[in-house]
Structure 1
Amino acid sequence: MSTVIEQPVEARLVAAAPRMCTVRATLHYDRTDPYAVHMTFPAPATLAGEEVCWTFARDLLAAGLHEPEGDGDVRVRPYGFERTVLEFHAPEGTAVVHVRTGEIQRFLDDTSALVPVGLEHLQLDLDRDLAELMRDAC
């Protein structure tokens, strides 16, 4: 069984201009980091012209489908019945993207099949992680 889920999603970048640019972003989940999801944007979609990856809580993404969530660098909220808004806040500015709610829900369903919500802690090897921390401290 695979330990990673990657799903391309159509992300509509909200700009000051009346039109929205659509890019192909990727949602990524790895059972070895069971609380996190990653959303990667291709280089042409970023100000710096380099691929950008944001990491945030799977719980934040799931909760944001139903009501506004987040008060940090990543915020998620519903936008009507078919879209979800993700806001990414950085010192350089804020990126706002719309993603089809169905695409996000399908991704979350796949992650839950891999690691059920509430059982993420079973994926962690705390002894190994502690040994790694101690090794690096010496």
Structure 2
Amino acid sequence: MNNLVHKTLVVQLQAGAADRFPVLAHFSYEADDPFAVTVVFSHDGRVLARWKLDREMLGEGLSRPVGLGDVRFRPVSNGPWQELCMEFYGSPHPDGGRHHAAVFVWAPGVAAFLRETREIVAPGEEQVRVDDFLAEVIAGG
């Protein structure tokens, strides 16, 4: 059985007041970390950012706004084009502002990726191997 799902999508990055800019988003899911989806954003072979996201929250963001902290998701409709807006917020500045970036992803691509993850580990069947985790921590891994 395959324990890994990977999908690469071209997404649109928008930081601050700048126009959208195409980058790659590499989505990955591993059964060993059943609650998380890792997304690596890259451009010209350079990693721009790496985020570990909540799989359930990512799915909910396809149909309604979710998130209150540094990561927020919401559906966006531009005519027939359905997108997921993924918003990322940085640490506060002394002036009270925060760095902010929005990534616009083709929603059907994210939905297809999530369907594949659910074939590996269905929602509600996630298991965390606490003993294995503690053994790794104690061993210094």
Same fold (TM over 0.5): yes
Q: TM-score, normalised by structure 2?
A: 0.82
Gaps of 5+ in 2: 92-97
What does residue 10 of structure 1 align with? 10
User: Hey, what's the Cα distance between the residues in 2 that align with 1:74 and 1:44?
Assistant: 25
Shift of 1:50: 4.2
What does residue 95 of structure 2 align with? none
SS of the equivalent of 1:132 reads: helix
- 1:67 to 1:134, Cα distance in 2 relative to 1, 3 A: same
User: Hey, what's the Cα distance between the residues in 2 that align with 1:54 and 1:115?
Assistant: 21
More strand by share: 2
Is the 1:43–1:52 contact (alpha carbons within 8 Å) kept by the matching residues of 2?
no
What does residue 99 of structure 1 align with? 105
| Structure 2 residue identity aligned to 1:10 | V
Gaps of 5+ in 1: none
| Structure 1 residue identity aligned to 2:20 | M
Percent identity between the two aligned chains: 32
Matched, 1:21 2:25: no
What does residue 129 of structure 2 align with? 125
Aligned length: 130
Shift of 1:24: 1.4
Q: TM-score, normalised by structure 1?
A: 0.84
- 1:94 to 1:44, Cα distance in 2 relative to 1, 3 A: farther
User: Hey, what's the Cα distance between the residues in 2 that align with 1:132 and 1:10?
Assistant: 36
User: Hey, what's the Cα distance between the residues in 2 that align with 1:11 and 1:109?
Assistant: 19
- 1:135 to 1:84, Cα distance in 2 relative to 1, 3 A: same
More helix by share: 1
What does residue 69 of structure 2 align with? 72
